[in-house]
């Protein structure tokens, strides 16, 4: 996991953890940290002890964390990630993709008072014979009322991930989230929408009922960033609805609730429930009733 996992994570949550084979070098002091890596994602093959690297994809890059001088107790991440995918699919077609991502994240993660996690990046490279110009902006801002009962922490998340313009031009504008965290928009029960050609607004409130019981209520609204591009599946980036399916921008909204309980050391029990209400984009779909997702999970860490 690098940073908060928006671009590079083991994808824990929806299914089997993501693994990578390769080389990673880490240099760290009390204030600075530098990661250098060159890896390949690992396939989840049937059987035992036989998972092989996925030779169709290669990643390399660097990740540098420093104290941010613009805010007290803040830090900043500066990073570059390269990707070579032999076959990648977008609304405009399938081709070889060589994509470079440069970005910055500034953050202040605290248990009380004001905290934030803001990130922006830009992508360039080639997709077949076309060039790549894409971007994303992700923000998370909150305040913890530590002296108030239940220690409420209202937060606001707002994100935008670029979509493609006209397929007739020679510049791919669809953002590629690479290998994002498994529970991207919600705690556990993830939506099917991926962070590509998407804008979302996500208010939420976290609370602590007891020392070992915490929870969260949230609501999320989704729109297409570009009406010239389709929508993409979470986790694999495969287009699930083309741009021609609808001219509407609004995709829908989703409510979520989560309760976490730690009865003993090393054990966490969690309950999640979420419901997605489709927007105008799905009016032409024959079966467009919104799904309801429930999850009960047990985590043991040692």
Domain extent listing, the chain: 63-300
Topology of the domain comprising 63-300: Porin (2.40.160)
Tens-digit pLDDT profile for residues 248-293: 899 999 999 999 999 999 999 999 898 889 988 888 777 778 888 8
Q: For the chain, what percentages of helix, strand and coil (3-state, to nearest 5) are there?
A: 0, 55, 40
- Say which residue the tokens 């093959």 belong to: 45
Alpha carbon distances (Å) from 248 to 28, 127, 173: 48, 27, 19
Q: How far apart are CA 298 and CA 28, in angstroms?
A: 33
pTM: 0.89
State the pLDDT at residue 133.
Answer: 96
Cβ neighbors of 139 (< 8 A, separation 6 or more) are: 116, 117, 118, 119, 156, 157, 158, 159
**Contact residues for 48 (Cβ-Cβ < 8 A; gap 6+):** none
Residue with tokens 């902006």: 137
- Per-residue pLDDT at 97: 95
Distance CA 96, CA 162 (A): 20
Rounded distance, CA 198 to CA 135, Å?
A: 11
- With CA atoms as reference, report the closest residue to 259 among 294, 219, 300: 294
Per-residue pLDDT of the chain (302 residues; tens, 9 = 90+): 888 888 888 776 566 778 899 999 999 998 889 999 999 988 888 888 888 888 899 999 999 998 877 777 788 999 999 999 999 989 888 999 999 999 999 998 776 788 899 999 999 999 999 999 999 999 999 999 888 888 999 999 999 999 998 878 899 999 999 988 877 777 666 667 889 999 999 999 999 999 999 999 999 999 999 999 988 888 767 788 777 778 889 999 999 999 999 999 999 999 989 888 998 888 877 777 888 888 888 989 88
């Amino acid at each position: 996991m690098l940073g908060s996992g928006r671009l590079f994570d083991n994808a824990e949550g929806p299914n089997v953890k993501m693994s990578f084979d390769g080389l990673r070098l880490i240099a760290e002091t009390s204030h600075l940290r530098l990661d250098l890596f060159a890896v390949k994602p690992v396939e989840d093959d049937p059987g035992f002890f036989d998972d092989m690297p996925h030779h169709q994809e290669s990643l390399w890059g660097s990740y540098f964390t420093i104290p941010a001088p613009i805010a007290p107790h803040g830090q900043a991440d500066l990073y570059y990630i390269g990707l070579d995918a032999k076959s990648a699919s977008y609304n405009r077609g399938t081709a070889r993709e060589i994509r470079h991502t440069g970005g910055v994240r500034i953050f202040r993660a605290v248990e009380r008072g004001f905290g934030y996690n803001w990130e922006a990046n830009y992508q360039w490279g080639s997709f077949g014979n076309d060039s790549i110009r894409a971007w994303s902006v992700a923000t998370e801002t909150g305040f913890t009322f530590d002296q108030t009962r239940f220690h409420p922490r209202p937060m606001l998340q707002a994100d935008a991930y670029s979509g493609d313009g006209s397929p007739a031009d020679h510049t791919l504008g669809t953002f590629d989230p690479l290998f994002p965290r498994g529970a991207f928009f919600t705690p556990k029960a993830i939506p099917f929408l991926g962070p590509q050609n998407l804008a979302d607004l996500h208010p939420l409130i976290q609370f602590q009922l007891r020392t070992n019981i915490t929870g969260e209520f949230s609501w999320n609204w989704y729109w297409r960033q570009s009406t010239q591009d389709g929508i993409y599946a979470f986790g694999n980036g495969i287009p699930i609805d083309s741009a021609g399916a609808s001219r509407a921008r609004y995709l829908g909204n989703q409510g979520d609730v989560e309760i976490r309980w730690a009865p003993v050391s090393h054990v966490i029990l969690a309950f999640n429930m979420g419901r997605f209400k489709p927007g105008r984009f799905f009016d032409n779909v024959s079966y467009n009733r919104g799904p309801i997702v429930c999850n009960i999970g047990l985590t043991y860490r040692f």
